[in-house]
Amino acid sequence: MAKPYNSLSCLVVSFFITLLQLITPSQQENITPPPLPILPLPNYAQLKWQQRELIMFHHFGVNTFTDSEWGTGHENPAIFNPTRLDANQWIDTAVQAGVTLVILTAKHHDGFCLWPSKYTDHSVIRSPWKNGQGDVVREFVNAAKARGVDVGLYLSPWDLHDRTYGLNKEYNEHYLAQLQELLNKYGDVKEIWFDGAKGSNAPNMTYYFDDWCAMVKELQSAINIFSDAGPGIRWVGNENGFSGSTSWSTINRSLLSIPNSNVDYLNTGDPQGTDWVPPECDVSIRTGWFWHKSQAPKNLSDLLEIYYKSVGRNCVLLLNVPPNTQGLISDSDVQRLKDFRSAIDTIFSTNLANNCSIKASSQRGGKNGGFGPEYVLDNDHLWTYWAPRDDKDDHWIELKTKSKPLRFNVVRIQEAIGLGQRIKMHEIYVDGKKIANGTTIGYKKLHRLEKGTVSNAYSVRIKIIGSRGPPLISSVGLHFDSFGIQKGR
């Protein structure tokens, strides 16, 4: 008699479970998906590059020994003879400065090659350094690999030495041959640098740029290609290390060329751009790109200004640190880089916003939607973010101190650029009073407040005035820079 009773019980239980499932939405159905991306988007290599923020350049070659910036192409290779060359010291210097990518001028405009290229004898082969058996590129790459530092290589398109320069087919064959040597023999290369510089008296020359890029991508799939025209990274349009106050990662590549691109267009980018080609700010720690005994490194205050106007304007800063005639980074440069890194860490290691409560005008998916303002205070600056509701136009996020008043002079704002660059205009208010405004944000915007240090502040509101779709804020910071204190407001 027990079996019918048990079967009936099972049927009743099963009925109520089914009914409960029908009237109770599943947890999966309650999860709000991320907003649609705003195209174009960065690729993986570009995102990795952007997060580096500070990378390093080494200009080294025959110019180092002739006290020149641009060579002639007729230098005797015998002048290249560094007495204490130590690529490990170069990389140690980079690591101490917090750098994870270093780029070497494998060949500058003079055509002298720092590796034993089989396509020219204008190289280390004819140098007394290591009796012509040396390879600077190899020593550089090995030193970097040992310290876990990524490498990039600079191969000048303009070549003052090679006699085929000016003959389109012949020189492009020569250039591609050397490009293949560098990208085949030296392991992973994360950035290749195509400089657009060319002398006014140089022969007319058509670069087969599409062929170069195709070859690079074939040999190094994870590489970024730098040039006036991208396609991975673009020149910022000057050698001061400054981006425009408006700085879009998007641009129309069809309007660019190598050389002769519009420098103003390169500097600001284009909100209607169809291509993601973010800007890189190149500048030297000294006046010149190559080492000169008469020159000294820039002051710390100058380097910090460059940092705010490059990294703080949605760019990566490429800082040149040239080895001297011994083949070493000079002690004064090493010390200045240590001071620079220490200052950056001191300013940004403490985020006063972490001691604040936070609220927003709205949030996507409601209270438990996964896009609340609290995500701007976590450690993920790409894939967690505050997102407002799509149907709202008034977008703001506000910090309020939980205890003592705030004292700061730097405001940091970051966008979730993995879903596109969006923000076109924004304002910052302290206790209801506007203290700063700006246009683009991108990966990182640093407002070093023009009115000086804010003291006794209780609330900070960031208001988004214009955006391409809903704004996505991934991180916010309030910091104190004691290295350039101005009078308090």
Task: For residue range 439-459, list pLDDT tens digits in order.
Answer: 999 999 999 998 899 999 999
Give the bridge partners for 399, in sequence order.
358, 460
| Closest residue by Cα to residue 319 from 343, 336, 295 | 336
Q: Is 404 helix (H, G, I), strand (E, B) or coil?
A: coil
Q: Which helix (H) or strand (E) holds 448?
A: strand 445-448
Strands (E), 312-421: 316-320, 356-360, 395-401, 406-408, 410-415
- CA separation, residue 175 to residues 99, 103, 111, 170 (Å): 29, 19, 11, 9
Q: Is 410 helix (H, G, I), strand (E, B) or coil?
A: strand
In sequence order, which residues have a C-beta less than 8 Å from that of residue 39 and are 6 or more positions away?
Answer: 420
| Closest residue by Cα to residue 95 from 130, 54, 132, 59 | 54
- For 32, list phi and psi in degrees, rounded to 5: -85, 125
Buried b (16+ CB within 10 A) or exposed e, 345-371: eebeeebbbeebebebbbbbbeeeebb
Q: Which helix (H) or strand (E) holds 233?
A: strand 233-235
- Considering the entire predicted model, what is its pTM? 0.93
- Residues 257, 22 contacting (CB under 8 angstroms): no
Tell me the pairing of strands 473-479 and 410-415: antiparallel
Q: Show the tokens assigned to 214.
A: 């195709």
Within a 10 A sphere around the Cβ of 96, how many other Cβ atoms?
A: 13
pLDDT for 18: 52
Q: Show the tokens assigned to 325.
A: 């005639």
In sequence order, which residues have a C-beta less than 8 Å from that of residue 223 and are 6 or more positions away?
Answer: 45, 183, 189, 190, 191, 192, 216, 217, 232
The tens place of each residue's pLDDT in the chain, 489 residues long, gives 444 445 545 444 455 555 445 445 554 557 899 999 999 999 999 999 999 999 999 999 999 999 999 999 999 999 999 999 999 999 999 999 999 999 999 999 999 999 999 999 999 999 999 999 999 999 999 999 999 999 999 999 999 999 999 999 999 999 999 999 999 999 999 999 999 999 999 999 999 999 999 999 999 999 999 999 999 999 999 999 999 999 999 999 999 988 778 999 999 999 999 999 999 999 999 999 999 999 999 999 999 999 999 999 999 999 999 999 999 999 999 999 999 999 999 999 999 999 999 999 999 999 889 999 999 999 999 999 999 998 878 899 999 999 899 999 999 999 999 999 999 999 999 999 999 999 999 999 999 998 899 999 999 999 999 999 999 999 999 999 999 754 333
Residue type at 450 in one-letter notation: E
Q: Show the tokens assigned to 287.
A: 């006046």
- Residues 301, 483 contacting (CB under 8 angstroms): yes
Q: Which helix (H) or strand (E) holds 456?
A: strand 454-457
- Residues 310, 443 contacting (CB under 8 angstroms): no
Q: Sign (positive/negative) of CA torsion 125, 79, 284, 134? A: positive
What is the distance between the alpha carbons of residues 106 and 193, in angstroms, rounded to a whole number? 10
User: What DSSP designation does 347 have?
Assistant: H
**Helix-helix angle 209-219:168-185, to 10 degrees:** 20
What is the distance between the alpha carbons of residues 171 and 211, in angstroms, rounded to a whole number? 13
- Residues 112, 68 contacting (CB under 8 angstroms): no
pLDDT for 396: 98
pLDDT for 488: 38
Within a 10 A sphere around the Cβ of 129, how many other Cβ atoms?
A: 17
What is the distance between the alpha carbons of residues 216 and 182, in angstroms, rounded to a whole number? 10
| Exposed/middle/buried for residue 201 (C-beta within 10 Å: 0-12, 13-18, 19+) | exposed
Give the bridge partners for 153, in sequence order.
104, 192
pLDDT for 29: 56
- Residues 250, 40 contacting (CB under 8 angstroms): yes
What is the distance between the alpha carbons of residues 242 and 78, in angstroms, rounded to a whole number? 38
Q: Show the tokens assigned to 240.
A: 């001061």
Give the bridge partners for 412, in sequence order.
446, 477
In sequence order, which residues have a C-beta less than 8 Å from that of residue 241 and are 6 or more positions away?
Answer: 281, 282, 283, 306, 309, 310, 317, 319
What is the distance between the alpha carbons of residues 35 and 208, in angstroms, rounded to a whole number? 40
User: What DSSP designation does 333 have?
Assistant: H
Q: Show the tokens assigned to 128.
A: 């007394």
DSSP string, 9-35: HHHHHHHHHHHHHHHS--HHHHPPPPP
